[in-house]
A and B are shown apart, each in its own frame.
Chain A
Amino acid sequence: MIAESGHYALVLALGLALIQSFVPLIGARLRDPALMNVARSTALAQLLFVGASFVALVTLHVTSDFSVANVYENSHSMKPLIYKITGVWGNHEGSMLLWVSILALFGGLVAAFGNNLPLSLRAHVLAVQAWVASAFYLFILITSNPFLRIANPPIEGRDLNPVLQDVGLAVHPPMLYLGYVGFSISFSFAVAALIEGRIDAAWARWVRPWTLVAWIFLTLGIAMGSYWAYYELGWGGWWFWDPVENASLMPWLAGTALLHSALVMEKRNALKVWTVLLSILTFSLSLLGTFLVRSGVLTSVHAFASDPTRGVFILLILCVFIGGSLSLYAARVSSLKQGGLFAPISREGALVLNNLFLTTACASVLVGTLYPLGLEVLSGEKISVGAPFFNLTFGPLFVPLLIAVPFGPMLAWKRGDLLGAAQRLLAAGILALLALALVWAWAHGGSALAPPAIALAVFVILGAVTDLVERVGMFRVPLGTALRRARGLPRSVWGTAFAHAGLGIALIGIVCETTWNSEYIGTMKPDDVAKVAGYELKLDGLFQRQGPNFREMIARFDVSRDGEALSVMTPSKRSFTTRSSSTTEAALLTRGASQLYISLGDVTAEGAIAVRIYHKPLVLLIWWGPVLMAFGGVLSLSDRRLRVGAPKPARAQQRLQPAE
Chain B
Amino acid sequence: MTRKQRRMTIIGGSLAVLALAAALVLNALRDSIVFFSTPTMVAEKHIAPGKRFRLGGLVQPGSLQRGDNLAVTFEVADGSAKLPVAYKGILPDLFREGQGVVAEGALDASGVFKADTVLAKHDETYMPKDVADALKKQGHWKDDYGAKTSDGVKPAATTAQGNPQGAVR
Contacts and interface: CB of A to CB of B under 8 A. Distances in A.
B154 A225 contact: yes
A601 B91 contact: yes
Interface footprint category on A: 35 or more
Contact of B24 (A235, A293, A397, A582): A397
Interface residues of B, number: 57
Contacts of B162: 521
B149 A389 contact: no
A303 B14 contact: no
B63 interface: no
B97 interface: no
B123 interface: yes
A90 B151 contact: yes
Interface in A453-496: none
Nearest to B127: A300
**Max chain B Cβ within 10 angstroms of own Cβ: one of A163, A523, A602:** A163
Main SS of chain B's interface residues?
mixed
Contacts of A579: 123-124
B132 interface: yes
B28 A388 contact: yes
A529 B1 CA distance: 71
A163 B34 contact: no
Contacts of A391: 32
B110 interface: no
B169 interface: yes
A281 B152 CA distance: 26
A240 B117 CA distance: 13
Contacts of A573: 93
A367 B91 CA distance: 31
B156 interface: yes
A357 B16 CA distance: 11
A163 B122 contact: yes
A381 interface: yes
Contacts of B1: 343-344
Interface in A541-575: 573
B20 to A, nearest CB: 8
Interface string A308-342: 00000000000000000000000000000000011
B137 to A, nearest CB: 9
B40 interface: no
A412 B162 CA distance: 52
B103 interface: no
Contact of B34 (A173, A229, A386, A604): A386
A401 to B, nearest CB: 10
B21 A581 contact: no
B28 A233 contact: no
A282 B96 CA distance: 42
B6 interface: yes
Interface string B95-116: 0000000000000000000000
A424 interface: no
Interface in B6-55: 6, 9-10, 13-14, 17-18, 20-21, 24-25, 27-29, 31-36, 54
B93 A583 contact: yes
A392 B28 contact: yes
A386 B168 contact: yes
Interface string A152-181: 000000000111100011001100000000
Contact of B6 (A341, A367, A581): A341
A389 B153 contact: no
B139 interface: no
B54 A95 contact: no
A300 B133 contact: yes
Query: Which residue, of B1, B66, B93, B130, has the highest number of chain A Cβ atoms within 10 A?
Result: B93
Contacts of A172: 153-154
B102 to A, nearest CB: 9
A657 interface: no
B142 interface: no
A602 B28 contact: no
A112 interface: no
B39 to A, nearest CB: 15
9 contacts: A163-B154, A234-B158, A299-B149, A302-B133, A381-B35, A383-B36, A389-B28, A580-B124, A584-B93
User: Across chains A and B, which 8 residue pairs bring their CB atoms closest together, nearest first?
Assistant: A601-B90, A388-B32, A392-B28, A382-B36, A300-B129, A242-B155, A299-B149, A360-B21
